[in-house]
Amino acid sequence: MRINEHPDREALTLAVAHDIVTSLGMVLRAQDRATLSLPGGSTPVPVFKALSAAPLDWDRVTIIPGDERWVPSDHARSNARLIRRHLLEEGVAADLIDLYDPALDPDAGAAAASARVAGFLPLSVLLLGMGEDMHTASLFPGAQGLAAALAADAAPVLPIRSDTAEEPRVTLTLPVLKGATEAFLMITGPEKRAALERAAGLSPEQAPIAGLLRDLTVHYAD
Ligand code: 6PG
């Protein structure tokens, strides 16, 4: 794990956007398409805005949310909506694979989403966020479905139900996240920095981010 500490959140945003664009550019010089996974939450929004201004062959990029809240795609808490609003509607011509399906429940929806994403794996570039409880994507400690989502033979997308999440979730599973060619974690604030240090001594069951630390490039600012 490499930790880059930045003097402020503007420097953090620029560094994360730079790493993502550089990594995608390298992939696109070697192959026809690239797959980018982006997190939900509030932290990454400035990065999405920076990416929307980046000169890249976005029409050769497929974006997959790292996880999804099981809400309609126009709901304020939808991660797909966040990506559409701050990237696609800003002119980024990437394809977006929506993990949500209004016709299905989270269990069937996760199976259908697994089939949709399978052809776009492994991820070329992965950006993750993290909670103070050391969850990442929707891999929440103590969640129903966590053990299955951490398993080496897990399907690409599985359902997660957690008392700490406002709604049922579906998430990219640990083997998919670990399989990313380049994986970045973006965190802010001393509480998350301390949580990341704690995770280094814990199991993925206790601290799901721990399952990814070895190959992560972390970008941090207070
Ligand atoms: C989500 C994210 C989740 C997020 C963390 C951090 O759907 O909420 O995928 O894993 O990255 O909860 O969220 P903040 O950046 O808002 O603190």
Q: Which residues line ligand 1 (CB under 6 A)?
A: 39-43, 66-67, 79, 129-131, 135-137
The residue contributing the CA closest to ligand 1 atom 10 is: 137
- In the sheet that holds 95-96, the strands lie side by side as 2-5, 216-221, 182-188, 125-128, 34-38, 61-65, 95-96
Q: Detail the DSSP E strand segments found in the chain.
A: 2-5, 34-38, 61-65, 67-69, 95-96, 125-128, 157-160, 169-172, 182-188, 216-221
What band does 54 get if pLDDT is binned at 50, 70 and 90? very high
Using the atom order of ligand 1, give the atom closest to the CA of residue 187.
Answer: 15
Q: Tokens at residue 193, please?
A: 């920095």
What's this model's pTM, rounded to 2 decimal places?
Answer: 0.98
74-112 tens-digit pLDDT: 999 999 999 999 999 999 999 999 999 999 999 999 999
CA of 150 to the centre of ligand 1 (A): 18
| CATH number of the domain encompassing residue 170 | 3.40.50.1360
Domain carrying residue 174: 2-221
Please state, in angstroms and rounded to a whole number, the distance separating the CA atoms of residues 99 and 116. 8
Total number of domains in the chain: 1
103-151 tens-digit pLDDT: 999 999 999 999 999 999 999 999 999 999 999 999 999 999 999 999 9
Letter string b/e over residues 168-190, b meaning 16 or more CB atoms within 10 A of that residue's CB: bbbbbbbbbbbbbebbbbbbbee
Average pLDDT over residues 39-45: 96
**Residue 54 to residues 3, 24, 112, 156: CA-CA distances in angstroms?**
24, 11, 32, 29
What band does 1 get if pLDDT is binned at 50, 70 and 90? confident
In the predicted structure, residue 219 carries a pLDDT above the cut 90: yes
164-200 tens-digit pLDDT: 999 999 999 999 999 999 999 999 999 999 999 999 9
201-218 tens-digit pLDDT: 999 999 999 999 999 999
> Within its chain, how far is the Cα of 201 from the centroid?
23
